[in-house]
Chains A and B, each alone.
Chain A
Amino acid sequence: MTQLEQELKDLRIELLNMFIAVNKQLLKTEKAFFDFDKDIAYEVYNAEKRINALELKIDRDCENILALYSPVAVDLRFVLSVYKINHELERIADIAEGICKYINGLSKPFPSKAVEDVRIAEMFIQCKSMMEDVIVAFENEDTSTARKVFKKDEFLNEINEGGSANIIKNYNEQDAKSLFFLLSCVRKLERAGDLNKNIAEELIFSIESKVVKHQKKK
Chain B
Amino acid sequence: MDNHILESKSVNVYYDDMHALKNISMKVEANSVTALIGPSGCGKSTFLRVFNRMNDYIEAFRMDGEVLMEGKNIYHKKMQVDELRKSIGMVFQKPNPFPKSIFENVAYGLKIQGIKDKEFIQNRVEKSLQQAALWDEVKSDLNKSALALSGGQQQRLCIARALAVEPRVLLMDEPTSALDPISTAKVEELINELKQNYTIVIVTHNMQQASRLSDYTAFFYMGDLIEFGKTEEIFRNPKVERTQNYITGRFG
Contacts and interface: CB of A to CB of B under 8 A. Distances in A.
B192 to A, nearest CB: 19
Of residues A72, A75, A209, which shows the largest number of chain B Cβ atoms within 10 Å of its Cβ?
Answer: A72
B38 to A, nearest CB: 15
A74 B236 CA distance: 7
Interface residues of B, number: 12
A5 B50 CA distance: 37
Contacts of A70: 207-208
B235 interface: yes
B248 A73 contact: yes
Contacts of B235: 72-73
Interface string A40-80: 00000000000000000000000000000011111111000
A73 B250 contact: no
A2 interface: yes
Contact of B207 (A5, A72, A77, A209): A72
B238 A73 contact: yes
Contact of B236 (A2, A4, A5, A73): A73
A193 B212 CA distance: 39
A77 B244 CA distance: 12
Nearest to B237: A209
A74 B208 contact: no
Nearest to B248: A75
Nearest to B243: A73
B226 interface: no
A72 B238 CA distance: 10
A1 B236 CA distance: 22
A75 B248 CA distance: 7
Nearest to B247: A72
Interface string B232-252: 000111100000100111100
Interface in B165-220: 207-208, 211
Nearest to B211: A72
**A contact residues, range:** 10 to 19
Interface in A133-161: none
B248 A209 contact: no
Contact of A74 (B207, B211, B244): B244
A76 B248 CA distance: 9
Identify the interface centre among A4, A73, A77: most chain B CB within 10 Å of its CB.
A73
A73 B236 CA distance: 4
Contacts of A72: 207, 211, 235-236, 247-248
A51 B101 CA distance: 66
Contacts of B247: 72-73
Contacts of A73: 235-238, 244, 247-248
A70 B236 CA distance: 12
Identify the 7 closest CB pairs spanning chains A and B, nearest first: A209-B237, A72-B235, A75-B248, A72-B247, A2-B249, A73-B244, A70-B208
19 contacts: A2-B250, A4-B248, A4-B249, A5-B250, A70-B207, A71-B248, A72-B207, A72-B211, A72-B235, A73-B235, A73-B236, A73-B238, A73-B244, A73-B247, A73-B248, A74-B244, A77-B237, A209-B236, A209-B237
